[in-house]
Amino acid sequence: EDKVVQSPLSLVVHEGDTVTLNCSYEVTNFRSLLWYKQEKKAPTFLFMLTSSGIEKKSGRLSSILDKKELSSILNITATQTGDSAIYLCAVAGNQFYFGTGTSLTVIP
Amino acid sequence: EAQVTQNPRYLITVTGKKLTVTCSQNMNHEYMSWYRQDPGLGLRQIYYSMNVEVTDKGDVPEGYKVSRKEKRNFPLILESPSPNQTSLYFCASSKRTGNTEAFFGQGTRLTVV
């Protein structure tokens, strides 16, 4: 059965901390892995990863894919209260498969 | 502007009263899908469509129907809604599954009493 598992389920940190969110998958016909941010509305796209070992970076956020380990991590450095959201990992195979998400709360 | 449009945004209805949630995209995408999102369960796929007249069940299809008569539209139909279908629903579209992102509609919060 195809599945995507994210950890931790929730996380509370202080502003300025660095966090690492994990995503592991078992999906047949893997094509890409995507990260989304959801803040009380529709998910918004962050990154798409297709190749192992190549880091994608956008400001304080970065992500990398490890196809050997069937996993990906999303790093957020110097967290801000505006980073508080649910972070969703999705894997595109024959269809899109989503994890349950990691709820991140950043407190001042 | 490229977008996925869902309607209505909010809906309260009674058990057994048929309803349709519409979804339309203006990006000529082949792939469209419906998800429901419930606390602690994440996004679960209800139905998806690879192209016109091609639809497939996702993980939680029971109690739902879809149709894809035109490329741009993918309505979600609840023939006889029940309270366990109270949820937040998202429609999404993409060029295809694979090396493209999925674009999401703004969501429909449905309450069935």
What's the mean pLDDT when you consider all of chain A?
94
Residues of B in Cβ contact (< 8 Å) with A100: 40-42
Chain B residue numbers with beta carbons less than 8 Å from the beta carbon of A9 are 40
Average pLDDT over all residues of chain B = 94
User: Residue B63 and residue B58: Cα distance in Å, rounded?
Assistant: 12
The gap between the terminal CA atoms of chain B, to the nearest Å, is 36
B97 has pLDDT over 90: no
Answer yes or no: do B107 and A41 touch at CB < 8 A. Answer: yes
Q: What single-letter amino acid sits at A22?
A: N
pLDDT value for B41: 85
More confident residue, B97 or B76: B76
Calculate mean pLDDT across residues B84-99. Answer: 90
Say if CB A17 and CB A105 are below 8 A apart. no
Which residue is listed with tokens 């949630």? B21
Of the pLDDT bands very low, low, confident and very high (cuts 50, 70, 90), residue B1 is: confident
HSE of A61, CA atoms in CB hemisphere, 13 A: 14
- Contact between B65 and B79 under an 8 Å Cβ cutoff? The reply is yes
Alpha carbons A57 and B29: distance in angstroms, whole number: 27
Among chain B residues, the shortest Cα distance to A50 is held by B99
Do B31 and B97 touch, CB atoms closer than 8 A? yes
pLDDT at B64: 98
pLDDT digits (tens, 9 = 90+) for A12-37: 999 999 999 999 999 988 999 999 99
**Short-list A4, A3, A8, CA closest to A103:** A8
Q: What is the pLDDT of residues B4-48, one digit of tens each?
A: 999 999 999 999 999 999 999 999 999 999 999 998 888 999 999
Question: What is the Cα–Cα distance from B51 to B48, expressed in whole angstroms?
Answer: 9
Determine whether the interchain pair B106/A41 forms a contact, defined as Cβ–Cβ distance below 8 Å. yes
Please, which pLDDT band fits residue B52 given cuts at 50, 70 and 90? very high
Put simply, the answer to whether B101 touches A34 (Cβ < 8 Å) is yes
Residue contact B44–A50, C-beta within 8 A: no
B57-69: average pLDDT: 96
Q: Kindly state the average pLDDT of the residues A43-61.
A: 92
Is it the case that residue B2 has pLDDT exceeding 90? no
Does the pLDDT of residue B87 top 90, yes or no?
Answer: yes
Q: Token pair 């991590």 is at which residue?
A: A73
Say whether pLDDT at B99 is over 90: no
Classified as helix, coil or strand, A54 is: coil
pLDDT tier, A53 (very low <50, low <70, confident <90, very high otherwise): confident
- Which pLDDT belongs to residue B40? 82
Confidence of residue B96 (pLDDT cuts 50, 70, 90): confident
